[in-house]
Amino acid sequence: MSQLTRVVKALLEGEPGLRRVAVRGELSNVTLHTSGHLYFTLKDVQASLRCVMFRGQAQHLRFRPREGQDALALGSIGVYERNGQYQLYVDELVPAGEGQLYAEFQRLKEKLEREGLFDPTRKRRLPRLPRRVGVVTSPAGAALRDVVTVLRRRFPAASILLSPALVQGAEAPDSLVRALGLLAAHGDVDVIIIGRGGGSLEDLWAFNDERVVRAIAASPVPIVSAVGHETDVTLADFAADVRAPTPSAAAELVAPDARELASQAARLERRLTQAVSQGLRARRERLRLLARSRVLSQPLRPLQESRQRLDELTARLEAAFGRGVTDRRSALAHLAARLETLSPLGTLARGYAVATTPEGRVVHQVGEAPVGSRLLVRVSDGSLGCRVEVQHPLPQGAEPPGRGREERARFRAPEEDRSGSARRSGGAARG
């Protein structure tokens, strides 16, 4: 039997025409299980069909199913193997009178969704501290009273600007669009709440109107949708920047709690006071340490020490400079003495002379001054003009005649004592 049941199950659930069916009938045996699943039977005068709606779908019902109510169920056919019965697995359940409206709701929702009007990336953040809150609703409805009450309690600093509109009936869509346009054109509204209290699908239908949905999506001001009760869903909810389950909840979303803000401000003030106190204590301690430091207690001491060091360096520099000058003067005197010793003038002062031709060429040998030539003889205190009358060349290696050992030593002194300076000075003769 289980095999046969599985075969039947596979045939039924594999049939494309049974995957998405709409069944209308009278509700009976309605049971809401503690698990959250909803069990009921749809019947007419000729047949009945067992139905189950699991908790995930049942929690979104916009009405409370009751015995004898005419309803429209959308779902798929399947087989419950345990008892071998086929049943309808319900995804959506609406009162039968709302079936056509629901179908129109789905059609328009899919259309606008394809156009991107419900794209989450279009959603804007609500202002944290709104200065003025716009409200689009009926001035006679409970929704306005709820919004005003919550705003006054939570954030009295915000002002409320009502743009009245019809929220039900054939003229409601145009009225809602005009009210939104007036607030958008006002230019001094930070956020808008649009909504009304609960009601049937027909009562809320104005918020499913395409014109209203497009006006909400095109609003330059962030909009919070608050239509009906928590289980009511309209296309305005999808187009708005934020959906609130009720008008009161919308006001709570829009307005921060002034008491919480005051508490936060108090906490921030305490933290700021503590931070300032800690900073002051740290700076006082730093100032105390600085006041005890030598830089502040004896501000001239570093300058005085620097001056003393400068004096020491100046004295050392002067001493070094003096020693250097003295050493260089001594060296200069020594060099001057040596220069005086090696100077040809010194040689002349000792009794020697230098013979030069009229052209200024020094005579080194006898052959360079022929007999009759004129010479200029330089002595220590001047010069003498002479003429050569006779030549007396010396034999090779011979000493000058008529001179003794003392004369020879005197004659050779310039060569031996002055490293050949006399020889380089030219032929010399006693005056």
Q: What is the DSSP string of 70-106?
A: EEEEEEEEEEETTTTEEEEEEEEEEEGGGHHHHHHHH
> Residue 89 — very low, low, confident or very high, per pLDDT cuts 50/70/90?
very high
At 26-84, the pLDDT tens digits run 888 899 999 999 999 998 878 889 999 999 999 888 788 888 788 889 999 988 888 88
DSSP 8-state code for residue 373: -
- In whole angstroms, give the CA distance from residue 268 to residue 259: 14
Highest mean pLDDT among 11-20, 177-186, 284-293, 299-308: 177-186
- In whole angstroms, give the CA distance from residue 201 to residue 106: 13
Output the CA–CA distances (angstroms, integers) from residue 64 to 32, 53, 95, in the order listed.
Answer: 10, 13, 10
Contact 242, 126 (CB under 8 A): yes
Residues 386-412: what's their mean pLDDT? Answer: 62
pLDDT at 399: 58
Q: Pinpoint the alpha helices (H) of 115-219.
A: 142-154, 172-186, 210-217
> Residue 366 — very low, low, confident or very high, per pLDDT cuts 50/70/90?
confident
Two tokens at 229?
């009760």
At 190-235, the pLDDT tens digits run 999 999 988 777 788 899 999 999 999 999 999 999 998 877 789 9
pLDDT at 417: 41
Q: Pinpoint the alpha helices (H) of 382-427.
A: 405-417, 421-424
Other CB atoms within 10 Å distance of the CB of residue 203: 18
At 135-171, the pLDDT tens digits run 999 999 899 999 999 999 999 999 999 999 999 989 9
- In whole angstroms, give the CA distance from residue 243 to residue 246: 9
Residues 171-184: what's their mean pLDDT? Answer: 95
SS3 of 40, please? strand
